[in-house]
A = this chain, B = another copy of it.
């Protein structure tokens, strides 16, 4: 019994990629009319949910690496969806806040996003859906617990 890697059709990394693609495809389609990307949407959602915060916290909550967030923040600022302000007490740090224009993007598309997610919840069933979220969380070393 050799210890070879599993066939690709039962590979966890590939399964994760395909599932993500399946979930993101309709969301990307929905976002295409807004002109913002999936990651920009994620940043706006975090800002809408938690309010003004520093860049490190934002990167963590958005699951983005710093270099990506730097670019995305610049893009969103240029589009007028967020504002960037320096921390006067520590001028290295920076705070980011969603604007009314950015909030409108969220408000206008949140219902449709909710419907898409509800569709997947229905596909799996409420119980399996929660089970899936729990199992995924257990693969995330950053999750507390």
Number of interface residues of A (CB under 8 A): 55
| CB nearest to A18 among chain B residues | B140
* A100 CB-CB contact with B under 8 Å: no
Shortest distance between the CB of A75 and any CB in chain B (Å): 19
Oligomeric state, in copies: 2
Given contacts A5-B110, A14-B63, 17 further A-B pairs with CB under 8 A are A5-B45, A12-B129, A15-B140, A16-B136, A18-B136, A18-B137, A18-B142, A18-B143, A19-B137, A19-B139, A20-B20, A21-B140, A120-B139, A123-B138, A124-B139, A128-B138, A132-B135
Query: Which residues of chain A in 92-145 are interfacial with respect to chain B, using CB atoms and an 8 Å cutoff?
Result: 110-111, 113-115, 117-118, 120, 123-124, 128-129, 131-133, 135-143
* A13 CB-CB contact with B under 8 Å: yes
Of the candidates A5, A14, A118, A138, the one having the most CB atoms from chain B within 10 angstroms of its own CB is A5
